[in-house]
A and B are shown apart, each in its own frame.
Chain A
Amino acid sequence: DIQMTQSPSSLSASVGDRVAITCRASQSITIYLNWYQQKPGKAPKLLIYAASSLQSGVPSRFSGSGSGTDFTLTISSLQPADFATYYCQQTYITPLTFGQGTKVEIK
């Protein structure tokens, strides 16, 4: 199985900060990497697919980069609505696997 490791597991940041979350795959997954945002008690929401493609309706402050084994989700200017938990997911091969999550909290 492909292991997905996110870092950090949590972070504290202020509104307006630039935030980066990394995701590392245990083997190459080319660009089969998605990012989701989840708020408490809610279903996950797709932000980025294919490593760097912004899902329709998602603010442009979110961006994704990387290929192979190393990927990054960047929020260019953190907004109050962005405080949530973020998950990466590989869809290169089954079993499809998620990272453990990164919780973004208010500093």
Chain B
Amino acid sequence: EVQLVESGGGLVQPGGSLRLSCAASGFTFTNYWMTWVRQAPGKGLEWVANIKQDGSLTYYVDSVKGRFTISRDNAKNSLYLQMNRLRAEETAVYYCARVFESMITFGGVIAIPVYFDYWGQGTLVTVSS
């Protein structure tokens, strides 16, 4: 059974730092991209960052570039999000999720759509003084 369990959330002051962790089990962690998605209270979903299987490639939403770092430890089946210079508006539940890549033929062309097929339960980060 695929399981993703986030931890590390809590209360932090504006400008502070926090490191989130996501423990993965039930699948071969090294075969998958991973991602972080956040959701502010009462708001919609916002993609934060992705990381490739070997950690060699990462992507971020513009608003966190230079402040957040996504990383992984494949030996520990773990995903991380280091968050620095946190802002009040980044108060949210942070979810980790597995990224699945499929391969289909569309219009005679091979397409590789990706989607987030398993999600953790989330960890709440509150940025407040």
Contacts and interface: CB of A to CB of B under 8 A. Distances in A.
Interface of A: 30-32, 34, 36, 38, 42-46, 49-50, 53, 55, 67, 87, 89, 91, 94-101
Interface of B: 37, 44-47, 50, 59-62, 95, 100, 102, 104, 106, 111, 113-117, 119-122
Contacts of B62: 95
B106 A30 contact: yes
Most buried by A among B100, B113, B117: B113
Describe B's contact surface by its main secondary structure.
strand
Given A67-B106, A94-B59, 6 more contacts: A42-B121, A50-B111, A95-B60, A95-B61, A97-B47, A99-B44
Given A31-B111, A44-B119, A45-B119, A50 B45 contact: no
B41 to A, nearest CB: 11
A34 B99 CA distance: 12
A10 to B, nearest CB: 13
B92 to A, nearest CB: 13
B105 to A, nearest CB: 11
A39 to B, nearest CB: 12
B90 to A, nearest CB: 16
